[in-house]
């Protein structure tokens, strides 16, 4: 069966004309009766039902998270001042001494980069708390910063709200400071802290559970190695219940979900394919990371990947890395290999010893954002004439035009028995692009397993790309291609596809890479 959006509008025009010509010759009453008949017939016609969902499907909280696509991490604690990546847990609270902390500067750097939220290390492995927790003395309240009256969690969460970003927390399960770590008492302490964070700082979009558990630590002066069984010690089920109860729309991140998963590396690179689904049974934070990069297909659970990576080599600020900030081109490559493979990108921006995002990081982020904005400003497919090999029930609701309306909640779908359809875009004139963007309609699950793209060259179709998973977003990026027609072929799907969006975009010409600005550190953060 062949149908197209244009055929639909053609049918509508033809009907209208027919009605008009009859009206000329028929008495008004008869024409009214006829119209009523047509209207009542239309009202009783059964609407085409949407496809049945396939496999695991996302929850409301996961759908909201998918929409964010790009957010940031803030790694900030005593390590920033002791020049370490992992503190021992015996750091003096007075070590935490930002000299010009500015939450709005930090959040606006993230916002200007296009981030939709920020996740702050409220407590890293060293156990130092960035908020004045009532359950420990090892926190900002015993630092000299703001005379011990400061609260980084409060300031960052408020600045996020002011600037329209979502806010999330990282609370390290491993605590090298706490005397009870590895004993049952520590679990109570950990949960009390989690409750504090989830009840004092407004909405939290993500609770980030790190799987790292190294062993050695200060542990209240014991200075020994403590090991725990990752599978049982934390009793995750009951900890997760607290989050669900206090912050039902927050996603929980860990190697094992339950809502979002680690992508299996700290380079920010998702697998290809990267399925949003995973077989979750038997997994636990800090457990086997095998399969996390690509997920499992078809998979028993919807647990999409988050790609975490730092803009610098380390997670915390080190002045020696001022000239090693990732370049805009490197950030773009990461973006295409994370967001462009259906994952979310969590890019770490480490505040420096002033308590601000360093100028070099801002410079790189600015150019990265400029290129992304210039790329995605115009969908070059807009206005194309679309022809699909099949449209579900020939219904307008599932028409191919839905893929060009810039809305994720409308989609092109086919009849149940059509699992390898194609969609032709007549672009009306030659168009040059180097990025193809595709999105599936997620509430119906991840349906497409493989696709191919053809361009029209010298009177025939020539394949220029092929891929596997699409999910929330697939960005196919290549060299410039000029064509007046494009064809998308769904080459493998266990059920009929439901495609929400399709776009063609062109990256602006590259400007030569600027070297990072000299390592200017107003306020003289000395190492
Ligand atoms: C890891 C931690 O050990 C690093 O310090 C950092 O926080 C990273 C995001 O997760 O597991």
What would the pLDDT profile of 323-376 be if each residue is shown by its tens digit?
Answer: 999 999 999 999 999 999 999 999 999 999 999 999 999 999 999 999 999 999
Each residue's pLDDT tens digit, 129-186: 999 999 999 999 999 999 999 999 999 999 999 999 999 999 999 999 999 999 999 9
pLDDT at 39: 46
Question: What distance in Å separates the CA atoms of residue 69 and residue 307, rounded to the nearest whole number?
Answer: 10
Q: What atom in ligand 1 is closest to the CA of residue 308?
A: 9
DSSP annotation of 180 reads T
Give me ligand 1 centre to Cα 242, in Å: 23
Question: What distance in Å separates the CA atoms of residue 217 and residue 174, rounded to the nearest whole number?
Answer: 10
Closest CA to 176 of 228, 212, 217, 139: 217
pLDDT at 515: 52
Q: Is the CB of 255 under 6 A from ligand 1?
A: no
Residue 105 structure tokens: 């500067």
pLDDT at 272: 98
C-alpha distance from residue 147 to each of 50, 98, 201, 323, 375 (Å): 60, 12, 21, 33, 47
What is the Cβ-side half-sphere exposure of residue 500, based on CA atoms within 13 angstroms?
19
pLDDT at 38: 47
pLDDT under 50: residue ranges of the chain: 1-30, 36-43, 516-527
Following CA atoms 232, 236, 241, 243 in sequence, which dihedral angle do they give, to the nearest 10 degrees?
160
Question: What distance in Å separates the CA atoms of residue 447 and residue 426, rounded to the nearest whole number?
Answer: 25
Pocket test for ligand 1, best of 287, 315, 316, 350 (most atoms within 8 A of CB): 315
Nearest-CA residue for atom 4 of ligand 1: 315
pLDDT at 513: 59
Residue 526 structure tokens: 């000395």
Give pTM, 2 decimals: 0.90
Q: Is the CB of 145 under 6 A from ligand 1?
A: no
Nearest-CA residue for atom 3 of ligand 1: 212
Give me ligand 1 centre to Cα 219, in Å: 19
Q: Is the CB of 210 under 6 A from ligand 1?
A: yes
Give me ligand 1 centre to Cα 126, in Å: 12
Q: What atom in ligand 1 is closest to the CA of residue 211?
A: 11
Question: What distance in Å separates the CA atoms of residue 261 and residue 370, rounded to the nearest whole number?
Answer: 29
pLDDT at 41: 47
């Amino acid at each position: 069966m062949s149908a197209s959006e244009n055929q639909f509008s053609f049918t509508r025009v033809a009907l209208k004309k027919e009605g008009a010509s009859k009206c000329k010759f028929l008495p008004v009453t008869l024409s009214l009766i006829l119209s009523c008949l047509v209207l009542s017939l239309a009202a009783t016609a059964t609407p085409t039902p949407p496809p049945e969902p396939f496999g695991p499907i996302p929850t409301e909280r996961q759908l909201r998270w998918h929409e964010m696509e790009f957010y940031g991490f803030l790694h900030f604690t005593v390590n920033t001042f002791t020049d370490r990546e992992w503190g021992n847990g015996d750091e003096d609270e007075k070590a935490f001494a930002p000299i010009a902390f500015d939450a709005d500067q930090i959040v606006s750097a993230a916002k200007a980069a296009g981030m939709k939220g920020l996740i702050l290390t409220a407590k890293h492995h060293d156990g130092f708390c960035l908020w004045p927790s009532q359950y420990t003395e090892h926190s900002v309240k015993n630092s000299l910063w703001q005379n011990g009256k400061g609260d980084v969690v409060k300031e960052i969460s408020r600045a996020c709200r002011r600037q329209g970003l979502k806010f999330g927390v990282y609370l390290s399960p491993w605590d090298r400071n706490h005397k009870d770590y590895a004993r049952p008492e520590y679990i109570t302490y950990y949960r009390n802290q989690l409750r504090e964070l989830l009840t004092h700082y407004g909405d939290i979009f993500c609770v980030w559970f790190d799987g790292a558990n190294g062993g050695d630590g200060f542990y209240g002066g014991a200075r020994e190695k403590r090991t725990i069984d990752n599978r049982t010690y934390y009793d995750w089920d009951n900890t997760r219940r607290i989050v669900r109860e206090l912050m039902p729309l927050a996603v929980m991140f860990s190697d094992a979900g339950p809502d979002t998963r680690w992508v299996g590396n700290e380079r920010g690179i998702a697998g290809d394919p990267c399925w949003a689904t995973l077989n979750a049974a038997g997994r636990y934070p800090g457990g086997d990371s095998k399969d996390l990069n690509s997920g499992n297909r078809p998979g028993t659970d919807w647990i999409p990947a988050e790609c975490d990576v730092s803009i610098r080599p380390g997670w915390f600020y080190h002045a020696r890395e001022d000239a090693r900030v990732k370049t805009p081109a490197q950030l773009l490559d990461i973006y295409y290999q994370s967001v462009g493979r259906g994952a979310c990108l969590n890019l770490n921006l480490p505040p420096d010893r002033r308590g601000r995002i360093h100028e070099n990081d801002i410079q790189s982020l600015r150019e990265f954002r400029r290129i992304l904005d210039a790329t995605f400003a115009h969908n070059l497919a807009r206005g194309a004439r679309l022809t699909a090999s099949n449209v579900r029930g020939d219904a307008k609701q599932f028409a191919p035009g839905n893929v060009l309306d810039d809305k994720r909640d409308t989609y092109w779908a086919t009849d149940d028995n059509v699992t390898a359809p194609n969609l032709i875009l007549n672009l009306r004139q030659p168009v040059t692009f180097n990025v193809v963007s595709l999105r599936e309609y997620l509430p119906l699950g991840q349906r497409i397993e493989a696709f191919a793209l053809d361009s029209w060259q010298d009177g025939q179709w020539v394949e220029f790309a092929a891929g596997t998973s699409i999910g929330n977003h697939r960005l196919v990026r290549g060299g410039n291609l000029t064509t007046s027609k494009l064809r998308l072929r769904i080459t493998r799907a266990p059920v009929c596809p439901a495609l929400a969006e399709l776009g063609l975009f062109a990256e602006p010409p590259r400007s030569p890479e600027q070297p990072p600005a000299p390592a200017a550190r107003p306020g003289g953060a000395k190492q």
